[in-house]
Amino acid sequence: MADITISGPDGKMSAYLALPKDRAKAPGILVIQEIFGVNKVMRDLTDGFAAQGYVALCPDLFWRQQPGIQLTDKSEKEWQRAFELYQGFNEAKGVGDLIVSLEHLRAVPQCSGKAGSVGYCLGGKLAYLMATRSNADASVGYYGVGIEKALGEAAAITKPLLLHIAAKDQFCPPEAQAEINASLGRNSHVTLHTYPGVDHAFARVGGGHYDKAAADLANRRTAEFFTKHLG
């Protein structure tokens, strides 16, 4: 597990790389951050995917604003800073950074060349956009924010996409969920799972809305999905 540097068209960004043990070659998973940066939560998730047997890489998408920032969800000041970074985030450039990072991941010597993406919160929408704009082999989004605003891109999805939706998500209200289900439910490449009674970030361990039962179910579905499409 190490911090590395990735060169992109606009400059250099850092990323956290975790390698699986006892595997000469393994598929890759690009882990896409929440609004708190590549913090302990994201590093633990990246380590977790490596422990499952993947080459896992989590790039710093806020590097243009504040490189290397690592916030928590434990104080109002950090929440305010996280929302500032989110509001200042250039989505198109962020997707570009992810596409560059995906190619970097595929070039890691331990990577088999097959690689997918998984994202949370902000990263949940970006995982959806990786399904519409990149050649990722499979993508998973947890409680993505704003997917309903990009449903016009749904026709571009040609690889498997799994979305986990929190029924009580304060950032994805019922009307938005209905739009997502109506638009994506007809796409044979897309699998949608809604989790009743849980709020945004239900899978963030230690978070205020963490729900172990829902998180365990979602994580199991994610593991099975990646085994099927990347294994």
- Which residues are known catalytic residues? 169, 200
Distance CA 78, CA 104 (A): 30
Question: In the sheet that 55-59 helps form, which strands lie side by side, from edge to edge?
Answer: 2-8, 11-18, 55-59, 26-32, 111-120, 139-142, 161-166, 190-195
Q: Would you state the structure tokens that stand for residue 42, as one six-digit string?
A: 């994201």
Distance CA 102, CA 107 (A): 9
Residue 30 · residue 118 · CB < 8 Å: yes
Residue 23 · residue 53 · CB < 8 Å: yes
Instruction: Identify the CA nearest to 119 among candidates 94, 88, 93, 100.
Output: 94
Pairing of strands 11-18, 2-8: antiparallel
Q: Would you state the structure tokens that stand for residue 162, as one six-digit string?
A: 């799994």
Chain centroid to CA 218: how far? Answer: 13
Helices (H), the chain: 40-51, 76-87, 91-107, 122-133, 174-184, 212-230
